[in-house]
Amino acid sequence: MSPLILASSSRYRAELLKKLQLDFITCSRGVDETPHPQEPADALAQRLSISKAQAVAPAYPDHLIIGSDQVAVCNDVLLGKPGNRANAFRQLKAQSSQKVTFYTGLCVLNSRTGQTWTDLDVCHVYFRELSESQIEHYLDVDQPFDCAGSFKSEGYGISLFSKIEGEDPNALIGLPLIKLIGLLNQCGLAIP
């Protein structure tokens, strides 16, 4: 097989994948991320991870393609990337003293055979009670405007939490490496 393809334009996912010391290239194609009516968050994350891998497959017909997508939910509300400071402030204010669940879908697609392997990581983040000044200070430091949930757990964002429950801290950043290693092993790509 040719090198791995990471079907993502996320610099965070690319940095995580580099930890595995594998040769890969990144490529992303536009995928409509609009949830289907009544679609649960976990199903949305999984569907989008598969769709992202499939969207790249025609350009890379003899590759293993990694697709991943993350959906965050707080009080039954989907949290997207805020895009700007005002939206990030609103998201963090709503998450103060709350539990936020992150579903990270993962897909490895063999574009030659069409076979897919999938998994889903679930991580719960418990926010401390945050004052408006604490939120403003955090936004000044990390500027997490391109991150679902408006924080970077790998940065100063860790100060926002009282605890995290999950199997893989990498999943919260956007790519569950432990599950990915398992899927790649199933595909015949042994790591380590």
Q: Is 146 a catalytic residue?
A: no
Q: Report whether 145 contacts 88 (CB < 8 A).
A: yes
CA 151 – CA 57 distance, rounded (Å): 31
Which CA distances in Å does 125 have to 8, 27, 141, 164?
Answer: 24, 30, 20, 5
Within a 13 Å sphere around the CA of 14, how many CA atoms are in the beta-carbon half?
Answer: 11
Residue 45: its H or E element: helix 41-56
Cis peptide before 61 (omega within 30 of 0): no
**Catalytic residue (one of 62, 69, 121, 146):** 69
Within a 13 Å sphere around the CA of 79, how many CA atoms are in the beta-carbon half?
Answer: 26
Exposure of 66 by Cβ count < 10 A (0-12 exposed, 13-18 middle, 19+ buried)? Answer: buried
Instruction: Show which residues are catalytic.
Output: 69
